[in-house]
Chain A
Amino acid sequence: MTQVAEHTDRAQYQADIDTLAAADTNDTLSALRDAGAEKFSEMDFPHYKEEAWRHTNIKPILKSTFRTHIGASSASVTTDDLAAHSYTKDGLVEVVLVDGIFSSELSSLDTLPDGVVISSLATSEASMDLLGELVNYTNAFVALNTALVQDGVCITVEKNTQVDVAVHILYVTTGQANTATHPRNVIVAGESSEFNVIESYVGLNDESETLTNGVCEIVVGDNAKVTRHKVVSEGASAHHLMTTQVTLGRDSRFNAFAMTLSGQTVRNELCVKMTGPGGHCDLNGLYLNDGDRVIDNALFVEHASAKCYSRMGYKGVLDGNSTANFTGMVLVPQDSQQTDSDQLNNNLLLSDKAVIDTKPQLEIFADDVKCTHGATIGAFPPELIFYFQSRGMDPLTAHGILTYGFAAEVVDAIEVEPLKERLADYVFTKYSPN
């Protein structure tokens, strides 16, 4: 059965690959697509028996057929549609892509400071030498993204440039049933630069089943600092799979926030490779799950150099019949001495039927290392609830406030104020008792 389903699925993807190849677009991306198509033909989709995918139920994705949007979307999207998701009023630079294709009307690039270049992949020659250089084909979805890439965002930050204004990349899915988009981002921060980016994945339709299959490549140059925020606000019936691959130079710093708010199936895969001493990565995440949704965070940090620090701090709130999976793998090869690494995954279960599978993992071959890992799963202790009651609040109110507080801790660490405020409001509205 699965075999047949997967075969059908591939046929549509293959048809779209062929359509793109046949189109006489003189598109600079075609070489990359060809390479991706070849890879895709060699790879099987992940199997649920594979450890890294064990809990991401991708059967619904494999069983459905998703037609890839070719060219600009026919759906019309206005600034009003985006109002709730846009940060232009807060002064952020904003790049908007509708169904995977760059929209110059909806984007606001006027306030872009010197030293930063933002371009649409489809029109940029410059991006070509960067694109695809970094990517590892960790699974067939990465190959599929590469085979069907039509557009995306390329950002380069010049050496010694400190970018004060955050850049917001907003991918909007209009939600035509059974369509797929394949977002692709490349971010390269030059030596000693500093850069903040927000990537939002927003679905405007809760009914139709869609697929967002993204790949993001990030290079943090020597002594540079990049803070990346990923916010998943997909439609209620949407699937979202994304692989992010990050390379850190020496003395560089990478801070990440992966905030998963909505979507039927969401998988955030984040692979970080620390290539020089003094590298520092701080990976934070929050996932808010309910209904019968599935959220998977799969993190892989490779301490390819000695003297690096990595931290993972992920928190989840699970309600209803939802499922979440956390895999945090830290690899420390033999030569990577003086490694320091912490992993923590805390989960709050609001329902008996919610399922969490958490696996902080370490593979250590060096001997001079300091690594900790841990996970907690639970509800609030009765003493805490009693404290609220003794102050006049009923248990329901107590649970709401405590849940908000649990999630707000991740949000509070965000430094881009408008984002922090909006997420805090979101969490508050979702869990607060009133």
Chain B
Amino acid sequence: MLHVNNFHVNVEDTEILRGLDLTVNAGEVHAIMGPNGSGKSTLAQALAGHDAYEVTDGTATFLDNDLTEMPPEERARLGLFLAFQYPVEIPGISNAYFLQSSLNEVRKSHGLDELDALEFQELLAQKMELVNVPMHFADRNVNEGFSGGEKKRNEILQMAVMEPKLAILDETDSGLDIDALRIVSEGINNLRDPERAFVLVTHYQRLLDYVKPDFVHVLYQGRIVKSGGPELALELEEKGYDWIREMNPA
């Protein structure tokens, strides 16, 4: 589904990703872990198409489409979803309206009929139940006045509505208390599907107790320096990121 080869990405003329390789197949859950500043968000943003992240070498394909020249909205319509580490607030626009517009853009691109407000309302209610967010999320402006935890849960709701093929969750678990983490994890698990893949970018092993990954990768200084199964996350938890630093001296 996703093939990333020798991926090099610059931010403001500084090379952040330096030859990263990653392959994700349908149905798989990958965790990408790494210390702060290692390039996790850079990978997520570059795959989503943020133009501050310049791909200088390598390839990235998603469902056999070359991502590197594709506008972000087309990536989203193809089924690539990014849950932001820091979701923005959108004044004056209700969540319901935002999500309805979003879903309809995706549906249009697939030649499907747009949903009217009533049809969408019904769908939204189902999705809200599925990922366990309160009804007042619908009428509130997108992320405006939301707590950190509410913003993360709102990203999960958006994912539920958009039904992506590949969801990249950038530290969706950071800053959540244990109850919120449980709700978010359940939301993710409820969306697991043989047709859908997840890339969980996380700093902490904690999330992986709730959402079991098939693969764990360690990202350090712009490269994947170690890959393994779920046990790698536990080993990291035990030994700390210094272990990685020592293995990969600058």
Contacts and interface: CB of A to CB of B under 8 A. Distances in A.
9 contacts: A384-B88, A390-B72, A390-B84, A393-B73, A395-B73, A401-B97, A404-B92, A406-B92, A409-B91
A408 B84 CA distance: 26
B219 interface: no
Given A390-B81, A392-B76, 13 more contacts: A384-B88, A386-B72, A387-B84, A388-B73, A389-B71, A391-B105, A391-B158, A392-B105, A393-B105, A401-B98, A405-B91, A405-B141, A408-B93
Interface in A378-434: 382-384, 386-395, 397, 401-402, 404-409, 412
Kindly name the residue among B81, B87, B97 whose own CB sees the greatest number of chain A CB atoms within 10 A: B97
Dominant secondary structure of chain A at its interface with chain B: helix
Contacts of B82: 390
B72 A409 contact: no
A151 to B, nearest CB: 39
Interface residues of B, number: 30
B174 interface: no
Contacts, number: 74
A401 B93 contact: yes
A390 B92 contact: no
B222 interface: no
- Chain A CB within 10 Å, residue with most, of B90, B101, B102: B101
The 7 closest A-B pairs by CB, nearest first: A405-B92, A389-B72, A392-B76, A405-B93, A391-B102, A392-B105, A389-B73
A393 B97 CA distance: 13
Nearest to B99: A391
Contacts of B245: none
A392 B162 contact: yes
A408 B102 CA distance: 19
A405 B90 contact: yes
A177 B130 CA distance: 62
Q: How large is the interface on A (under 10, 10 to 19, 20 to 34, 35 or more residues)?
A: 20 to 34
A392 B90 contact: no
A387 B93 CA distance: 13
Interface string A45-86: 000000000000000000000000000000000000000000
A397 B71 CA distance: 14
Contacts of B105: 391-394, 397
A391 B162 contact: yes
A286 to B, nearest CB: 12
B120 to A, nearest CB: 14
A408 B97 CA distance: 13
A387 B88 contact: yes
Nearest to B108: A392
A387 B92 contact: no
Contact of A401 (B75, B101, B103): B101
A364 to B, nearest CB: 30
A382 B88 CA distance: 11
Contacts of A392: 73, 76-77, 102-103, 105-106, 109, 162
A317 B102 CA distance: 24
Nearest to A405: B92
